Amino acid sequence: MVGHEIVEKQVLAPDVVSIRLRAPQIARVRKPGQFIILRISEGGERLPLTIADADPSAGTIRLIVQAVGKTTGQLASLEPGQAIRDVVGPLGRPTHLDSFGHAVCIGGGVGTAVVYPIAKALAELGNKVTAIIGGRTKDYVLLEQELSRFAQRVIPTTDDGSYGQKGFVTAALKDVLDSSPEPPVKAIYAVGPVPMMKAVSELTRPYGIYTVVSLNPIMVDGTGMCGGCRVTVDGQTRFACVDGPEFDGHLVDFDELTDRLTTYRQAEARAVQRYENHTCKLKDES
Amino acid sequence: MSSNTGRMTAKQRLAIERQKMPERSPDERAKDFNEVNLGFTAELAKLEATRCLQCKKPTCMDGCPVGVDIKKFLELVEDGDFLAAAALMRQTNSLPALTGRVCPQEIQCEAECVRGVKGEPVAVGHLERFIADYERAASEPVNVEVAPPTNKKVAIVGSGPAGLTAAADLARMGHDLTVFEAFHAPGGVLVYGIPEFRLPKKIVAAEIENLKKLGVKIELNTIIGRTYTLDELFENGFKAIFVANGAGLPVFLGVPGENHKGVYSANEYLTRVNLMGAYNFPNCDTPIMRGRQVAVMGGGNVAMDSVRTAKRLGAEKATIVYRRSEREMPARIEEVHHARDEGIIFEMLTNPIRILGDENGWVCGMECLHMELGEPDESGRRRPVPIEGSNFTMDTDVVVVAVGARANPLLSGATPDLKINKWGYIEVDENLQTSIPGVFAGGDIVRGSATVILAMGDGRQAAQSIDNYLKDG
C-alpha cells in the first residue's frame, strides 16, 4: 500500500472523526503540541493537523478532524483500510511543559483534540489538571471520558446549554480562577477557534497567568520555508510552523490572524462546492 | 588518426556568429507554463560548437564550478558525436539538462570564453542543454561506470541540486545512498522554486530516475532534525551524512502592512504554483491569489521567476520593483530579456516603504520612494539612497517579496553540536566537513542564497570528501 493506512475510525460528532493511521516513526518521536502535514492524494493540498495522540508500540498516530472544507471533508470520509499518501512530521516545537502545580486546559470544539495530549502530559508531570471543554452543542463536547481519566475535574460547556454548563468556556474559566483553587492555577492552555483563544487570553491577562495558545494559520511546507504561516507575536513576525505553533496568548495579534485566515475563503467555497457536486454525482451513479 | 583533418581554420570559425536559441514567441508563451526555450537542433548545435577555437589553454573551464572539460565537449559536439559528448559531460556534471537551463553561464564558462573578448562567447550552456536532451531522447542512455559496492551507507539530507549531485557521485563510487527529502516530491528548489517554463518537471524527474537506476534510495516526507536526528541516522548504520537542506526562511521587507492578505514570500508564491499546482486550481486543491496588478520586490532569478509566473497566472500588469538599477540586478541576463519580451514592467531605483491595505485587509497598493545610487557598499555595488520627498503610490493587489532567505534552524536547532555562524549557516572546513566528524554540508545552508551550479559544485566536492573519509574510516 502506498502511504499511511488508516487502521481505525470513530465518528465523534456529526462532522468530526477520529482516525488512527500508521506512521511508526512519527508515533515514536512526536511530543505533545506537535503536528503533521498530510496530503491525501496526488493533486491534494498540504493540510496541517495537530497529533492528538500516539501509540508507539502499535506505530500509529491519532488525528481528530472536523469536516469544514474540501480536504477535511475528504479526510473524514476515508475508511479503515484506505490510505493517506503523504504524512510528514512531527513538526513544530513541542509544548513547553513544566510542574506548575495546577494547570487549566481549555478546548473548544476540535481544539480539545489538540489540548488533550498537552493535558495528559501535564498530568504525567504531576500537575493537577482542570479541563474545560466547550462545544456548540452536546455533540461537539469531545474527549470528556478520555480527559476524566487523568484530569481532576472536567467541565463541559455548550453554547446552547444542551449539555454541561450553558455558555462559553471563558465563563467556566472565570469561575475556576475566582474560586481560589488549591494549588493556584499557574498555567492555562487554550486551543480552539481564534475568537475563543483571544477571549481566554483577554480574560487571563489581568490575572497575570501564563496562557498558551496553539495557532492554526495558513501553512504550506511546515518547515519555515514559505512564511505563509507568519503571525505577529509581541510585535515581531514569527512563523507558526518553526517558532510555534504555541505562543504566549497575551502577545499574539489575534485580529491579524483572524483576517489572514480568510485569504482563501472564496477559493475554499469553490472547492467545496465542486467536491460536493462531484461526490453527489458519484452517489447518483452508484 | 588525427581528429583535426578537414577541420576549419580559426578564421573560418571566427566568421560564424553565435547561434540564437530558438524560443516560443512572447505572446504565446506568456499565456502558459510550457518551456520558453525550444532548444538547438543538431545542425545548430554542430555549427555553434564549430565557433570554438579549441584554445591550447582553454580558460572556459576555469569558469565552471564543477570543472566540465568544455574544450573536449565542444569538439565532440562539433563532430556530431553527441552521445560521447554526453558521456564526457556526465563524468563531471551529473545534471546537465538542469545546468544547461539554469546556470548563469554569462558569469562562468562563457564569461571566460576568448571569443567573448571581441564578439559573443560560444553558447556553452545551450549546447550542454542540447546534449542532455539528446541523451534523454536517445533509446540507449549513456552508461555510467559504477564502482563495486562498498556496502557503506551514506545519507544525503535534501534532494536539491547539491544533494542530487553528491548522491550521483557517491553512488558511482559504489556507496549505498539514501536521500531524505522533506517534501512529498524530490528535487528541492528544482521543483518547488524554478518554474516549469524555465525547467520542466519531467526533466528533473528523468534525472531522479537516473539516480534510482544507480541504486539511490529516496525517502520522501522525511525531515532530518524532526523525523530523525543526525544521531539516529548514525545509529541506523549511516557512516557519513551530507547536509544540503537549502536556505529556508524567507526574508520580508520589514515594512508596515506586510501581513495584509495578498502579500507572499516568493518561496510561498512559487511553491504554491510549482510544487502544489495552484495554477491548475480547482483541479489541484491548493489555491493562489491571481492578482491583476502584481508587484514583485527584488532583482534576482527568484524575482524574475515570480514576476513571469504572475504574468502567466493572468496578471494584466506584472512589475519588478528593485531598489537599485538594472545593472546591479543579480538575475541571469536571459531571464531579464525573456521577462522584458513578455511585457514585464521594470520599476528600477524604487523601494517600498509601506504596503497599503483596504478596509478588508487586502493589499491595494504600495507607498514607494525613488532611489538614486550613491557610493559602493560592501557588496561592491553602488548603494541605493532614498530621494527625499519622492514618495508615490503604486496600485497593486498582490505583492511578492523576493529579497532573499535566512538560514533554516530546523536541523541546527535539533543538533547542538553542529557549529553554525552568526547568521545560522553551517560552518565547514575546506573539505566541507562540519564540526561533527562524518557530517558534511554544502549548498545554500552553508553559502546563504547562491545558485544551482554552486550547490552542485559543493555536492561534487562533498562526495569526494566523503569518499576519502569512508576510505580512511
Q: Would the pTM of this model clear 0.90, i.e. be above it?
A: yes
User: How confident is the model over B159-163, as a mean pLDDT?
Assistant: 95
When CB atoms are compared, the residue of A221, A242, A263 closest to B183 is: A221
Domain limits, chain A: 4-91, 102-214
Confidence class of residue A283 from pLDDT cuts 50, 70 and 90?
low
Give the three-state DSSP class for A117: helix
Report yes or no: B177 and B152 within 8 Å, Cβ to Cβ: no
Query: Smallest CA–CA separation between B229 and chain A, in Å?
Result: 10
Contact check, Cβ <8 Å, B282/A274:
yes
User: Judging by beta carbons within 10 Å of its beta carbon (0-12, 13-18, 19+), is residue B290 exposed, middle or buried?
Assistant: middle
Contact check, Cβ <8 Å, B276/A46:
yes
Which of the following CATH numbers is that of domain A4-91: 2.40.30.10, 2.170.150.70, 2.40.30.160, 2.120.10.30? 2.40.30.10
- What average pLDDT does the structure give for chain B? 93
Contact check, Cβ <8 Å, A43/B285:
yes
Confidence class of residue B2 from pLDDT cuts 50, 70 and 90?
very low
Give the three-state DSSP class for A13: strand
- In the numeric block, the cell 514618495 is attached to B391
Sequence-separated (6 or more) residues with CB below 8 Å from residue B242: B154, B155, B156, B157, B162, B163, B166, B440, B441, B442, B459, B462, B463, B466
List, for residues B285-302, the tens digit of each pLDDT value.
Answer: 999 999 999 999 999 999
Q: Around A220, how many Cα atoms within 13 Å sit in the side-chain half-sphere?
A: 27
- Distance between CA atoms of residues A277 and A271, nearest Å: 10
For domain A102-214, is the CATH number 3.40.50.80? yes
The secondary structure of B348-373, three-state, reads CCEEEEEEEECCCCEEEEEEEEEEEE
Interface of chain B against chain A, CB under 8 Å?
A: 182-184, 192, 220-223, 226-228, 246, 248-250, 252, 258-259, 261-262, 264-265, 267-268, 271-272, 276-277, 281-287, 289, 361, 408-410
> Which residues of chain B have a CB within 8 Å of the CB of A262?
261, 361
Contact check, Cβ <8 Å, A221/B264:
no
Q: Above 70 in pLDDT, residue B412?
A: yes
Query: Smallest CA–CA separation between A163 and chain B, in Å?
Result: 37
**Residues 161-220, chain A: which have Cβ within 8 Å of B?**
220
Q: Best mutation site among B180, B221, B284 for testing chain A: the one with the most A CBs within 10 Å? A: B221
Closest of B290, B407, B390 to residue B350, by C-alpha: B390
**In angstroms, what CA-CA distances link B87 with B32, B72, B166?**
34, 11, 18
Contact check, Cβ <8 Å, A271/B285:
yes
Query: Smallest CA–CA separation between A270 and chain B, in Å?
Result: 8
Contact check, Cβ <8 Å, B228/A25:
yes
- Distance between CA atoms of residues B115 and B264, nearest Å: 42
Interchain CB contact of A31 with B (< 8 Å): no
Asked which of A36-45, A247-256, B93-102, B302-311 is least confident by mean pLDDT, the reply is B93-102
Asked which of A151-155, B102-106, B303-307 is least confident by mean pLDDT, the reply is B102-106
pLDDT at B429: 97
CB atoms within 10 A of CB A39: 23
> Which residues of chain A have a CB within 8 Å of the CB of B250?
225-227
When CB atoms are compared, the residue of A71, A85, A87 closest to B285 is: A71
When CB atoms are compared, the residue of B184, B258, B285 closest to A86 is: B184
Q: Above 90 in pLDDT, residue A190?
A: yes
**In angstroms, what CA-CA distances link B428 with B141, B431, B454?**
36, 7, 15
pLDDT at A267: 86
Query: Smallest CA–CA separation between A158 and chain B, in Å?
Result: 31
ipTM of the complex: 0.92
Which three cell numbers mark B273?
Answer: 504554483
Closest of A143, A81, A74 to residue A112, by C-alpha: A143
pLDDT at A279: 67
List, for residues B350-397, the tens digit of each pLDDT value.
Answer: 999 999 999 999 999 999 999 999 998 888 888 999 999 999 999 999
Q: Above 80 in pLDDT, residue A281?
A: no
User: How confident is the model over B45-69, as a mean pLDDT?
Assistant: 92
Q: Above 70 in pLDDT, residue B439?
A: yes
User: How confident is the model over A39-65, as a mean pLDDT?
Assistant: 95
Contact check, Cβ <8 Å, A242/B228:
no
When CB atoms are compared, the residue of B221, B249, B281 closest to A224 is: B249
Percent of chain A with pLDDT over 90: 88
- In the numeric block, the cell 465542486 is attached to A274
pLDDT at B1: 39
Confidence class of residue B473 from pLDDT cuts 50, 70 and 90?
low
> Which residues of chain B have a CB within 8 Å of the CB of A259?
261, 361
Contact check, Cβ <8 Å, A225/B361:
no
pLDDT at A1: 64
List, for residues A86-131, the tens digit of each pLDDT value.
Answer: 999 999 999 999 999 999 999 999 999 999 999 999 999 999 999 9
Report yes or no: B205 and B186 within 8 Å, Cβ to Cβ: no
